[in-house]
Amino acid sequence: MALAILVKGKKRSVKTFSATAAFSIAASGITEPAVYGLMLKMKRPIIPSIIASGVGGLFFGLCQVKVFSLVTVSILSLPQFINPAGGNNFVLAVVGLLLTTIVSFVLNWLWGIDESMFDEDEIEAAAEV
């Protein structure tokens, strides 16, 4: 969701905030900036994000992807899906991550975003004067 807003957004403040939110999710699994700063404020990304989470959860459940050590979920913690006994659990986890991210990006892109609740950028405000 944050990546779709980053690419599709027009206001600099929205793009900056969504880039920061996407980085915090990828690097440390902290989702609060994206949820409270983007999703709940804009309201439109809620439904596509829920659908994408359902698609990802369905994939993980059907493929029986397992976690072998419980840590905060982020890109850096993907090794938690490596099965000590071998197997393709890690590959399925990466595929599930990519599937969920792509579905979320596409649905949020198609659903659209509403930047009206964010303040105008200083550059836009100066151009109007």
Q: Domain residues for 20?
A: 2-116
Within a domain: 121: no
Structure tokens at 21: 């939110």
Instruction: Note whether 107 and 48 are within 8 A (CB).
Output: yes
Report the number of distinct structural domains present in the chain. Answer: 1
The position carrying tokens 């440390």 is 28
Q: What is the pTM of this model?
A: 0.80
60 sits in the region (left: phi over 0; alpha: psi -120 to 50; else beta) called alpha
Within a domain: 67: yes
- What is the structure's pLDDT at 114? 78
Report, as ranges of residue numbers, the positions in the chain whose pLDDT lies below 70: 120-129
Within a domain: 15: yes
Please give the DSSP secondary-structure letter assigned to residue 123: H
Within a domain: 128: no
Q: Return the SS3 of 66.
A: coil
